[in-house]
Structures are given as structure tokens and as C-alpha cells.
Amino acid sequence: MSIIKVCEASDCNKRFIQTHPRRRYCSPKCAEREKRRRYVKKRISLGLCVQCGKPMDYPTSPHKNKTSPLYCSACQDYFRKRYLEKKKQQKTKK
Ligand SMILES: [Zn+2]
Ligand SMILES: [Zn+2]
């Protein structure tokens, strides 16, 4: 007997045939995404950098309406560099 289940990934909701009683997602991609989402949540609640899991060295925002940064300064630096690299590459392409 096959059971039709709805994927538990919050941004998917696809239907799939449950081939294993513990299967909760339509694809390994959805499982991975949800796994990441869970540890991101955990890291945020522990005040750790979402990317590298190290304690946050970035000052938390004094503004209450602003969300505190998710990444430590090293990771933010890395992301900024990568973003700038990408931008540069796009420019040279055109
Ligand atoms: Zn899915
Ligand atoms: Zn980090």
C-alpha cells in the first residue's frame, strides 16, 4: 500500500509517495534544506554564526527593530568579497 504524503518542507508542499515510513520530504533536496533550516535556527538561538558556527564577534544591533546579524565579521567579510568578485565578473562579461 502506498501512502501519499505532503512534503514537510515549508516552501515545497509537493505530494509524494511515501516509500519509507520515516520519509517526510519529496526529495533529498528538501530534506537537506530543512536540515539546514533547523541548524540555522539552533545557531541563531545560541548566538552563533550561522555560516561557520563560531561564537559571534559582531556587535549585536542596538536597534530593536533591526534583526541581529546572522554571520560573524569574518563570514560577512567573505560574503562581501564574494559579492564584489561576482559583480566584477559580471561587469567584465558585458
Ligand atoms: Zn519537497
Ligand atoms: Zn562565521
Each of the 94 residues of the chain gets a pLDDT tens digit; together they read: 689 999 999 889 999 999 999 999 999 999 999 999 999 999 988 989 999 999 888 665 566 556 667 889 899 999 999 999 999 999 877 6
Predicted local distance difference test score (pLDDT) of residue 91: 84
**Shortest-distance ligand to the CA of residue 5:** 1
pLDDT value for 58: 67
Residue 69: what pLDDT? Answer: 78
CA atoms within 13 A on the CB side of 54: 9
Q: 82-92 burial string, b = 16+ CB within 10 Å, else e?
A: eeeeeeeeeee
Kindly report the number of other CB atoms within 10 A of residue 70's CB atom. Answer: 16
pLDDT score recorded for residue 59: 63
Predicted local confidence at residue 85, as pLDDT:
95
Question: What is the whole-number distance in angstroms between the Cα of residue 26 and the centre of ligand 1?
Answer: 4
**Cβ-contact 24, 5 below 8 angstroms:** yes
Q: What is the 26 CA–ligand 2 centroid distance (Å)?
A: 31
Q: Quick one: pLDDT at residue 37?
A: 93
Domain ranges of the chain: 3-93
Cell digits of residue 72: 560573524
Question: CA-CA distance, 41 to 47, in Å (whole number)?
Answer: 10
Structure confidence at residue 80 (pLDDT): 94
Alpha carbon of 25 to ligand 2 centroid (Å): 29
